[in-house]
Structure 1
Amino acid sequence: MSLVKYEIFSKAAEVNSFTKTAEELGLTQSAVSHAITSLEKEFNFPLFIRNNTTIKLTQNGKDLLVTIREILYYNDMLKQEVSAINGLNKGTVKVGVFSSISTNWIPYMIKEMEKTYPNIEIQLIEGNYAEIEKWLLDSKVDCGFVNNKTTALRSFDIVQLKTEPLLCVVSDKSPLHSKKHISVEDIENAPFIMPTYQCFDDLQLFFKENNIHPNIRFENMNENSIFSMVENNLGISILPEMIIPKGLNSIKVIPLELEQTRTIGLAIRTPISPAVKKFTEIAENWCRLTRTLSE
């Protein structure tokens, strides 16, 4: 068993390129190709389908990927435990994040990690809820920020970090601007701008649970574009509180008559490694501090 070959295989499966794998691991392309070919001879079946410029996992390669990443995870955890016994905190934490977490939380958490545990490296991969769940299940990340309502991660520990309201944003020119609460009727009658990336699942659940049929005029993945469209009175939208920027005078933020929240948690692979445990503690402390300051 060669852990170096496994690391090369895992990285190649992630980036779909032997050239990029070589660049990221500091190896020559021939070394990467040789390692993969050696594994394929050892296993007696191909791991990748090779095209001119890209590679793609075979089904057998996909079947082995999770197990190989588990082996690498336990090897890294062994190194971390040995370092901890010797009085050092070392290791790497791969974290799945979505955009509002990247903007509002991660810079402060990384700053605190670098201050307290300078030998622990944080690697970030950004996606939406579904992508982060898949990365966790495929062992691509060690932990990930998720919506606590997920049912796909029953085997993971999920630490609850924050519950926040979904709020409606309208233009200062909208006839809804003076309202204290936005009703179901308001949502169904006004042109609606549907976020299609980060909080799509939150809204879909809200609409389904309350039998709401929004008048969707636009669908947009980018929150900045949504705010620009709302500012120009092209429609209203509903977003989590964390996403809504402060100080936009041309936009009014209004609570929903039917209160709706999202709960953000940190899903953690088990058994938890020492480095991931340190990151989890930093994340919990940061969220606890921000809650205290806002009260």
Structure 2
Amino acid sequence: MNDKKLRALLTAVQCGSFGKATAQLGYTQSAMTHMVNRLEAELGCTLLVRSSHGVRLSEEGEQLLPYMQAVIDAGDALRREAAARGKLHENTLRIGCFASIARARLPELLRKFRKIHPEIRVDVLVRGYELAAELEEENIQLALVDEACGKGFYWTPLTDAPLVAVVPPDFSWKEDTIPLERLLQEPFLSCPEQYIERMLPQDAARVEVTASDDAAILSMVAGGLGVSVLSAFSLAGYEGQVRVIPLAQPISRRLGAAVKSPPAANTAARYFLSFLKRQSALG
């Protein structure tokens, strides 16, 4: 039932006439009369007593008054709750990122962003290359990923993360840098999603680790089970547990922010993307 009809009826009763109610509600008198007549027809009873002195509730109308007021109050509560939830949704930013970014850069970025926009709540999804599907399905609004994962989306480059050799602490190597070819002589830990995979010879021996988080590989390297090449961002929290050696031929991984479509002005995603650009990105 449309509560506009109920509001029109009760306003007429409060004002004592349709004429005064029309001035308050902005309807024409014929529109007011039509709405009340429709309401009485829907309920199957006479709600108003009309006379030359104005209008008042009939006996049936008096009996139904608490219920009519309850419908109006419920409509008001519904609108308030919907508005509050809509505002909460507008002020919630859902982002996704690689685990390396989540460990190395995201905490400080979110701390600074919260100071600027305390009204925006940020939810974080940490995944690997499946973030592309999450973004496509709009489960997240923005993804901090590399250029390959951001392909097909609106992608903004933000920084380059160098790749480094990660070896056990007691690994025997005295030079300042190490060739990739030398690392491949050791048990080489990697997973299909690793950026370095595309640069390895197809016949290169490797120990495959299926994980979207580099932490598993780092733990194995720390335990002396092999070596790897990872993003420098992945090392956060593992300082002192592994040895890091720059590659003889530098390799970097370009990282940035991907969105399905350019975010509209005055939205949480737009604010965050602008913030990332001002912060010299992820570096």
Residues 154, 262 of structure 2: 8 Å contact kept = no
Instruction: Tell me how far 1:213 sits from its aligned partner.
Output: 4.0
Q: How does 1:77-88 map to 2 (within 5 A)?
A: none
Equivalent position of 2:217 in the other structure: 226
The CA deviation at 1:256 is 1.7
The answer on whether the counterparts of 1:112 and 1:282 sit within 8 Å (CA) in structure 2 is no
Q: 2:185 aligns with which of 177, 186, 189?
A: 189
Query: What does residue range 229-244 of structure 1 map to in structure 2 within 5 Å?
Result: 229-244=220-235
Is the alpha carbon distance of 1:220 and 1:180 closer, same or farther for their aligned partners in structure 2, counting shifts above 3 Å? farther
Distance 1:247 1:95 in 2: 25
SS of alignment partner, residue 279 of structure 2: helix
Whether 1:136 and 2:135 are equivalent positions in the alignment is yes
Say which SS state the counterpart of residue 109 (structure 1) adopts: helix
Cα deviation for residue 280 of structure 1 reads 0.8
User: In the aligned structure 2, how far is the partner of 1:247 from the partner of 1:97?
Assistant: 19
Within a 5 Å distance, the mapping from 1:271-282 to structure 2 comes to 271-273=262-264, 274-282=267-275
Extract unaligned runs of 5+ from structure 1: 1-75, 84-89
Alpha carbons of structure 1 residues 182 and 212: separation in structure 2 relative to 1, 3 Å: farther
State the alpha-carbon separation in 2 of the partners of residues 123 and 136 from structure 1.
14
Query: CA, structure 1 residues 102+188, in 2 after alignment: closer, same or farther (shift >3 Å)?
Result: closer
Alignment of 1:159 onto 2:151: no
Structure 1: distance between partners of 2:238 and 2:180: 27
> What is the rounded CA distance, in whole Å, between the counterparts of 2:262 and 2:210 in structure 1?
38
Q: 1:245 to 1:120 in 2, by over 3 A?
A: closer
Cα distance, 1:278 vs structure 2 = 0.4
Q: Does 1:92 align with 2:88?
A: no
Count residues with an aligned counterpart.
197
Please tell me the residue identity of whatever aligns with 1:257: A
Cross-structure match for 1:215:
205
1:240, distance to aligned residue in structure 2 (A): 0.3
Q: 1:188 to 1:114 in 2, by over 3 A?
A: closer
**For 1:255 and 1:267, how far apart are their aligned partners in 2?**
29
Q: Give the aligned residue type for 1:160.
A: P
8 Å Cα contact 1:188/1:212 also seen in 2: no
Is the Cα contact below 8 Å between 2:215 and 2:234 reproduced in 1?
A: no
Q: Pairwise CA RMSD of aligned residues? A: 3.0
Q: Rg larger in 1 or in 2?
A: 2
Q: Partners in 2 of 1:123 and 1:162 — Cα distance?
A: 22
Displacement of 1:165 after TM fit? Answer: 1.2
- State the alpha-carbon separation in 1 of the partners of residues 209 and 123 from structure 2: 31
Task: Give the secondary structure class of the aligned counterpart of 2:280.
Answer: helix
Percent identity reads 21
CA distance in 1, matches of 2:118, 2:179: 50
Distance 1:269 1:105 in 2: 23
Give the aligned partner of residue 251 of structure 1: 242
> What's the CA shift string for 1:127-160, capped at 9, x where partnerless?
112x11111111221111111134742xx32111
SS of structure 2 residue aligned to 1:133:
helix
Tell me whether 1:105 sits opposite 2:122 in the alignment.
no
Change (3 A) 1:137 1:286: same
